[in-house]
Amino acid sequence: MKFFIDTANLNDIAEAESLGILDGVTTNPSLMAKEKISGDKAVMAHYKKICDITSGDVSAEVISTDFEGMKKEASELIKIADNIVIKIPMIREGVKALAWCTSQGIRTNCTLVFSPGQAILAAKAGATYVSPFVGRIDDIGWDGMQLIEEIAEIYEVQGYETEILAASIRNGKHIIEAARAGADIVTCGLSAFESLLKHPLTDIGLEKFLADHAKAAGK
Ligand code: E4P
């Protein structure tokens, strides 16, 4: 399973990259706004900075909600770097834009997916990635991970090549469950990845190893 970081924060991206396990980056307009990046030029420049940090795929989301607008944005965004992937919402015009991008050889990430039917449409349109939002489904009292399982089963049965990018992943437990459910990728904030690192027995064990080593060396 691949790890993408879900942020527009350059320090967090650089930190994740330095761990040596980063496979890509996802952003969205809310994450850009959180970093106070606004205006077409600034947004494009920020994507360029992200692409300079990582060679993994970087999802850049369109703002337009009409086919022509999405096509125009996709055509501009892909000029930024070879690792840009166009993030397109699962709406009627978005499906058209996904299919158009596929026909042009432009890689895509279909976002805001909340049902198996939407995931089938994304795969039919040739999306490179499909992003089911696990945490937001949990937020309304449903089971986000069940959606990952259902999509994984359908894609396996149908032989779809679209990769399942489990999104809206909020913690380490989500990451582990997504891996078990058949996600190809998870995307989440740096703290969720870091939470996988921690175990009290690791700290206690290391302390003991180092103490024994020091004792044996007569320190
Ligand atoms: C996915 O690409 C989205 O950017 C993201 O995972 C949404 O997560 P949230 O529900 O925590 O905002």
Closest atom, ligand 1, to C-alpha of 188: 6
pLDDT at 219 over 80: no
135 lines ligand 1 (CB under 6 A): yes
Q: Kindly state the percentage of the chain with pLDDT values over 70.
A: 100
Per-residue pLDDT band at 193 (split at 50, 70, 90): very high
Question: Does the CB atom of residue 111 touch ligand 1 within 6 A?
Answer: yes
User: ipTM above 0.90?
Assistant: yes
Nearest CA to ligand 1 atom 6: 168
Say how far residue 1 (Cα) sits from the centre of its chain. Answer: 12
Give the domains, in start order, of the chain with CATH numbers.
2-216 (3.20.20.70)
Residue among 5, 168, 188, 193 to mutate when testing ligand 1 (max atoms within 8 A of CB): 168
Q: Give the predicted TM-score (pTM) of the model.
A: 0.96
C-alpha torsion 39→64→100→8, nearest 10: 50
If you average pLDDT over every residue of the chain, what do you get?
97
Per the annotation, the verdict on 87 as an active-site residue is: yes
pLDDT of residue 203: 96
Select which of 87, 124, 198, 219 is catalytic: 87
pLDDT in tens, 140-159: 999 999 999 999 999 999 99
For the stretch 88-115, pLDDT in tens is 999 999 999 999 999 999 999 999 999 9
Per-residue model confidence as pLDDT tens digits over 45-55: 999 999 999 99
Token pair listed for 134: 């696990």
What span, in angstroms and rounded, lies between the C-alpha atoms of 43 and 38?
A: 6
Pocket lining: 136 vs ligand 1, CB cutoff 6 Å: yes
Pick the closest to residue 67 from 37, 93, 91 (CA basis): 93
Q: What is the largest CA-CA distance in the chain?
A: 74
